[in-house]
Each structure stands twice: as C-alpha cells, then as structure tokens.
Chains A and B, each alone.
Chain A
Amino acid sequence: MAILVDSETRVLVQGITGSEGTFHTRHMVAYGTRVVAGVTPGKGGQTLDGIPVYDSVRDALREHEIDASILFVPAPFAPDAMLEAADAGIPLLVCITEGIALHDMLKCYHLLRGYGGRLIGPNCPGLISPGKAKLGIMPGEVFRPGPVGIISRSGTLTYEIASHLSRAGIGQSTVVGIGGDPIIGSTFTELLPLFAEDPETELVVLVGEIGGAAEEAAADYVAEHMKKPVVAYIAGFSAPPGKRMGHAGAIISGSEGTAEAKARRLEARGIPVARTPAQVAELVKERLS
C-alpha cells in the first residue's frame, strides 16, 4: 500500500529535458519508478532513454494514463507547469523546484485547490515508497521498505534519520519531504490522515525545524485524531534568537517558532521528541510492537 505512490503509479516528468530533470529521471527509473512520459514545451517528439517527450501535458495524456507528475521546471515557469498538470486532471503533483516567488505561489496554491488535486512541495526532495517508487531526488539506497512513515520539512536531515532507521533494521512505508517554503502544498496535518489510514504504516516520524507553527498544529492533530504512535525530531535548538524582525509572525501563529516551544507542545501532547537523529531510531524501536 504505502501512501500517495506505489509500484503501479504512472509518472509524468515535467521539465524532463533539463539537466536536473534528465539526471533525476534516470535515477527514478533505475529505482523502479514507472516513468511513462515527459513534457518540455517545444521538445515534443524527442525521447529520453526511450521515454517519449511531449509539448504539453494534454499531449502526453492522449497517449498515456498518468497518476502523478513530478516537476523539475525552473522557478519562473513552475506555477504555469503545475496549473497545466492540474488542469489536465493529474491528481498528484510533486514540485521539486526551488526559489518560486512567494506571491506567485500564494496565487498558484489557491488556483490548484480549485482543481482538487494534491501538491507536495515546492522546494522539497519529493517522496519515496521504498522498494516501490521514488518521485524525488533522494538517494534511494538510504531507504528500506517497512512500517514507518516519515513526514519532513527538511531534505538531507530526512536522509540522515532514515538511514539510522534502516541501519537499525526498521524500514519505511512512505517518506514525504514536504518542503521548507512558507507556502507548501501539503503540511504535516494534511498528510497525517493518509498515514493513519495506511495499513502498512504502524508509526509516523515527524521531522520539523524552527520557524512557523506547523509542528504545533501537528501536535494538536495527533493528540486529537491519531491512534498510531508518533515520534518527532526538531532541528534548531541552538539556533540564535533575535534573527527575526517584526511581530506579525508570532501574533499569527501564537508561537515563538523556536525548537523549544515546538518540543514543549509535542511532548505536552504525548509525542516523544528525539534530541539527536540517532535517538529517533531508538524511540521508534521502543514503540514498534
């Protein structure tokens, strides 16, 4: 099962002919992901290792059935590409692109909602259901199939934590990097219900960092709705204070945004917070039956 993607998922790559798109398409295919087509406007008719490239998402859909699209489109064109895919009816978008303008993304996010699909990212490492499919840029060999779901705001830190789990013999059902931008398609609380319903997932790890209040919201959600155990890690306990300017962020979220404040809320809601990446694996081990 896993969530969002499995070995059956048919994948489109938008921006497939760019250097990032080409490089990661090859790695995804090598991992076993079913990449069925690519899109780059103006490059229709080409192929990449036998994968047909189309001018538009609609053109691709005339020839293929597609369940998800991963985007390696440069930032100025990424909102357009996301909307094109959503308009064509693709239900899952994974946007790797970094550096999309905030005000572009604000508008894009709300337009995408009108189509009803799901967006992961932007500015994220993507997602992987180990042993089944990878829609992302993470090193596949770090991950093992198993019962632990991971939702993370960070990229490399996720690899670190997953590798500790894998070495402890604990595999993962699906690992989702949700991205670090202020506006992201899916937050902790929006993905937790999917893990709650996934029969393969027995436990969920939340990997957070300083800033915003998404971890606090997740803590409340878990306490009220989740029956499966949840373990957390927060990066940034030693981050210097006073880097912020203005009061609005704190007023809106009602939180300081510090690692301390996040850990306090999580622990108050019964979610253990590991103090080191290695400790995540220990906490998980204790809680898995």
Chain B
Amino acid sequence: MRLLEWQGREIFERAGIPVPPGALVKSPQEARRVAERLGGPVVLKAQVPVGGRGKAGGIKLAATPIQAEELAGTLLGARLKGVPVEALLAVRAAEIRSEHYLGITIDRDSRQPVFIYSPSGGVDIEEVARTRPEAVAKVPIPPLEGLYPFRLRRLFALAPAHLRKELFRLAGKLYGVFLEYECNLVEINPLAETEEGLLALDAKVIIDDDHRPGEQFSGLAEAAEDPLEAEAKEAGLSFVRLDGDVGIIGNGAGLVMATLDLVVQAGGQPANFLDIGGGARAERVQKAVELVARSGQAKVLLVNVFGGITRCDEVARGIVEATGVLGIPVVVRLTGTNEREGKEILARAGLVPVDTMEEGAAQAVALAKGGG
C-alpha cells in the first residue's frame, strides 16, 4: 500500500519526526485560508500516487495567499500524468540550507532492512548514487539484532558534525515507523536543514500489502490511480491500465507479462495487464473479462491461461458467461489442468482456442488492427 505524502506526513508527525507546518486542502479558497494562517510563502503539492511530481509540474510555490488561491485553482482538477488532482498539501516554504536523503528499505539480496543516508539529497539522488557512490551510505540492520548506535554512527559518518545528533534521533524514529507500520519503504527526500533544524519536506511510505492485522492501519487506504484498478484489487485481481488496444488476461504475473511482451513483439499494444491469480473460479474470470470490457479501450481480448491450480473448465465458464457484455472478439489460449473440459465449454459457445501463446498474440494483434 503506497501512501500519499499527506498520509505519510501524518504518520511522521505522530512519531515525532519534524515536518513543516501545513494542511491538506481541497479547494482554492481553503488554500488561501491556510496560506493566510501560515504567513509567508507556501508550497502547494499535488497529492497523487505518481512519482516525479515536481518535474511534472505538480509542486508550485506561492508568494502570497492570493497567489496560493490562483495556483491551487489551476492544480486542482488538473491531471498529473493522467491522474486527477483532488487534494493539495499546503506547507510553509522553508529556507533550505542543505538537502539530505534518509530512507529505509529491504535489501532482497541480504534479506535485511537497509538504512540509506546521503548529505546530497534531493530529486537527483539516484544520479548521485550512480556517479558518486561514496556520497551515499548504506548500512544494513540485522533484523534479529535491532538498531544499535554503532550502526547509525557508521551511517552518519558522512553527515556534517553539527547535524549528527539530530540525525540520530530522527533515524531512530524513522526505524520505529518502519517497524510499526510494517513498511517496504520509508523515505524522506529531501530531509532539509533549515533555521529551525531538520525538516521532512516529503514523506514516502509504502506498507507491506501482506501486513499483519493492527489498529495502526485503520483508516489508511491506498490512493488508486484508476478506479478500475481499485475495483479489480477488491475482486482479487491485479489490473493495470495501459495505452494500447489489445486486452490481456492471464494467470500468474510472469505469464501475463510474457503475454504482453509477445503482443508488443507482434506489433500490437496492450490495453492492460490483468492477472487473475492462482486457482481463480469462473466468477473471478467473468469479473476480469467485464473489467477489460468496461475499460473501453480494448478492440480484442486475449486470454492466456496455463492451468495448474487454476482449472481450464472454470476459466472457460467465466469467459463464456462474460462474452455477452464483451462486444469485442476474444482469442483464447487454454492449456493445463482440465484442458479438455475447458475446450468443450468454449466449443459449445462457438469459441475455438489457439494452441500457443505466440499464435494467440499474433491473432489478437491482427484482429485489433483489422477492427481499427
């Protein structure tokens, strides 16, 4: 679950990590009132679940409350990388002396949480990591050991001496958030040095989707980039909208990605990624087909299922049930568990499956082009 900045900021505040004064606003008038209350220039930040907000024009500086109202008017309701902006975070602009980076994530290789710190934070931190690796410290924290100070001393060896004490305190609090909210990632970039000390000028928090039950998660919800994606998640489906016109459904993320790749190689463009997961019953398959139909982009649907725990007869039933609402041609590749039964169900509905996924991709692309 990827939290929006304002949600992460609330968690930081509760944990005692300093953030600049500000508030979430949903109208230009509200933006002006908040700017008046804060006094001085404010930064308006679009609250959307996409990366690279600043570079896409989603962060604006307003010198006066009037300007805050105007800028909020242009930002709210606009789209940022295709996602409508419904709320802004308005915070008092800080005078920044230096920008740092502080984050914790999981290193899959060593299977440990890793602290990352750099005194050269900001939007170009990945560039810094590539070109000046010595300016980025990475210190793993053995999960059975806990957070001992010597590891933080190692982490902050690069830090300016006058900030170390504050960084130590902050790192301890950030690690607390990482554990309490069962995070994949917590990141403060930039962590700014200002007149009032260190301030978290951004908050990125990604919570493990498989986290244990706990009341700290109550009220937290992931902002959906697309309402259909949210609906799919609810139904146990993994759906991602793409730009093309070949709808794709399959079982298992790897197989669906491989199907996308084949469609692109055949000269087509996928309309979506849709993984029905393992062991899907007819109802879930039917829902998947309906989602592709409702997304309104696909000119053809390609279903690619290799049955293991997923049974071909259930898949076939789901497809046949949903073809009424589909209204576009469907190409089916169905093999594996209960293949014969599945193909019989398709045959009764007048559907003839293809034998291989390569063949399926080629046929689907041809149909999408012919139908255009």
Question: How many chain B residues touch the partner (CB < 8 A)?
Answer: 70
What are the residues of chain A within 8 A of B335 when measuring CB–CB?
Answer: 163
Number of interface residues of A (CB under 8 A): 66
Other-chain residue from B49, B138, B261 in contact with A245 (beta carbon distance below 8 A): B49
A23 CA to B296 CA in the complex, in Å? 39
Surface stretch bound by A, among B21-29, B64-72, B184-192, B317-325 = B184-192
Closest A-chain residue to B81, C-beta based? A242
Contacts of A217 in B (CB 8 A): 109
A244 → chain B closest CB, angstroms = 6
Encoded as 1 (CB less than 8 Å from any A CB) or 0, chain B from 160 to 191 comes to 00000000000000000001001011010100
The residue among B52, B113, B210, B356 with the most chain A CB atoms within 10 A of its own CB is: B210
Q: CA separation between A158 and B260, bound complex, in Å? A: 16
Q: Chain B contacts of A184 at CB under 8 A?
A: 108
A245-B206, A247-B126 given as contacts; is B254 within 8 A of A235 (CB)?
yes
Docked complex: A90-138 residues within 8 A CB-CB of B: 98-104, 106-107, 109-111, 125, 137-138
Distance of A161 from chain B, by nearest CB (Å): 9
Binds B, one of A43-51, A57-65, A273-281: A273-281
**Considering the complex, which residues of chain B in the window 228-263 have a beta carbon less than 8 Å from any beta carbon of chain A?**
240, 242, 250-255, 257-258, 260-263
Interface stretch, picked from A8-16, A34-42, A207-215, A264-272, is A207-215
Tell me the bound Cα distance from A5 to B336 in angstroms. 24
Q: Which of A183, A210, A253 contacts B257 (CB 8 A)?
A: A210
Could you tell me if B104 and A156 are in contact, using CB atoms closer than 8 angstroms?
Answer: no
Q: Are B138 and A155 in contact (CB under 8 A)?
A: no
- Measured between beta carbons, the chain B residues less than 8 angstroms from A275 are 261, 265
Q: Are A248 and B103 in contact (CB under 8 A)?
A: yes
- Indicate whether A182 sits within 8 Å of B308 (C-beta atoms), given known contacts A242-B51, A247-B125, A275-B265: no
Point out the residues of chain B lying under 8 angstroms from A252, CB to CB.
105, 107, 114, 116, 138
Q: Which residues of A contact B257 (CB under 8 A)?
A: 157, 209-210, 235-236, 238-239
In the complex, are the beta carbons of A160 and B258 less than 8 A apart? yes
Contact across chains for B51 and A244 when beta carbons are under 8 A apart: yes
CB distance from A222 to the nearest CB of B (A): 16
User: Does B108 contact A212, Cβ atoms closer than 8 Å?
Assistant: yes
Expressed in whole angstroms, the Cα–Cα distance for A217 and B107 within the complex equals 13
23 intermolecular pairs with C-beta atoms under 8 Å apart: A76-B212, A101-B212, A103-B179, A106-B112, A139-B307, A152-B254, A155-B252, A156-B310, A159-B336, A163-B335, A238-B260, A238-B270, A242-B81, A245-B49, A245-B204, A247-B189, A250-B126, A251-B103, A252-B105, A252-B116, A253-B107, A253-B109, A275-B261
Interface residues of chain A, those whose CB is within 8 Å of chain B, are 75-76, 98-104, 106-107, 109-111, 125, 137-139, 142, 152-160, 163, 180, 182-184, 187, 207, 209-210, 212-214, 217, 233, 235-240, 242-254, 259, 275-278
